Copies of this chain bind each other. A is one copy, B any other.
């Protein structure tokens, strides 16, 4: 824990790290629930899936708020504060976008899921695995600098693949979906899912900034 990002406020401030790990768990739970929703969702169970994902999103909010309260109550430099704040906020964004996608599935009630939704959610799951690995090594950043940089690069590559999935989805949608209301539904659902992978890449960018500063 020496010379690391988190060592500065450890053991005085050991709380951020478990809270960030908690947010990782939330992202993972929400992603896996979303995968199930995309695979098994129907008009009968949609409200239920949405509720479960919303619960995760609220858990994430609670954890973020705890981090913000800790940050306000703790004496650390504003710079560190901002980095942790940004990291927690961006991690939370991943869950927020998953939640928005689930909400739109529930509210819009599309006749069928967009075919590309499964591919997209699998990319979100891949991304959350990279976020988990990166966050797990944040407290030994000096030693793990190279590895954590790799996870961040991986997040960038996943987002590129998500862009491809989204572009192909849109081309196909505008070519083949002739019912305009179904088109709107699918387009907006996929938009939120794609945003989740953007946010995951954003997490990687923030971690890279932290590496540059502290490792």
A184 sits at the interface (CB 8 A): yes
Q: Measured between alpha carbons, how far is A114 from B175 in the docked complex, in Å?
A: 18
Q: Measured between alpha carbons, how far is A167 from B184 in the docked complex, in Å?
A: 16
Residues of A68-120 contacting chain B, CB below 8 A: 72, 107-109
Q: Measured between alpha carbons, how far is A127 from B178 in the docked complex, in Å?
A: 38
**A153-173 near B? 1/0 per residue, CB < 8 Å:** 000000000000001001100
Given contacts A107-B170, A108-B170, A167-B107, contact A184 B183 (CB under 8 A): yes
| B181 touching A174, Cβ below 8 Å | yes
Q: Measured between alpha carbons, how far is A72 from B209 in the docked complex, in Å?
A: 11
Residues of B near A181 (CB, < 8 A) are: 174, 178, 180, 183
Q: Pick the contact of A174: B72, B108, B170, B180 (CB < 8 A).
A: B108
CB of A33, distance to nearest CB on chain B (Å): 19
| A107 touching B184, Cβ below 8 Å | no
Residues of B near A178 (CB, < 8 A) are: 181
Residues of B near A167 (CB, < 8 A) are: 107
Residues of A99-153 contacting chain B, CB below 8 A: 107-109
Q: Interface size of A by Cβ–Cβ distance < 8 Å?
A: 16
Q: Measured between alpha carbons, how far is A140 from B178 in the docked complex, in Å?
A: 57
CB of A182, distance to nearest CB on chain B (Å): 9
CB of A69, distance to nearest CB on chain B (Å): 10
Residues of A within 8 A of B (CB): 72, 107-109, 167, 170-171, 174-175, 178, 180-181, 183-185, 212
Given A72-B212, A108-B170, A180-B180, 10 more A-B residue pairs with CB atoms under 8 Å apart are: A107-B167, A107-B170, A109-B171, A109-B174, A109-B175, A174-B185, A178-B181, A181-B183, A183-B184, A184-B184
Report, nearest first, the 7 A-B pairs whose CB atoms are least far apart.
A180-B180, A107-B170, A180-B181, A108-B174, A107-B171, A107-B167, A109-B174
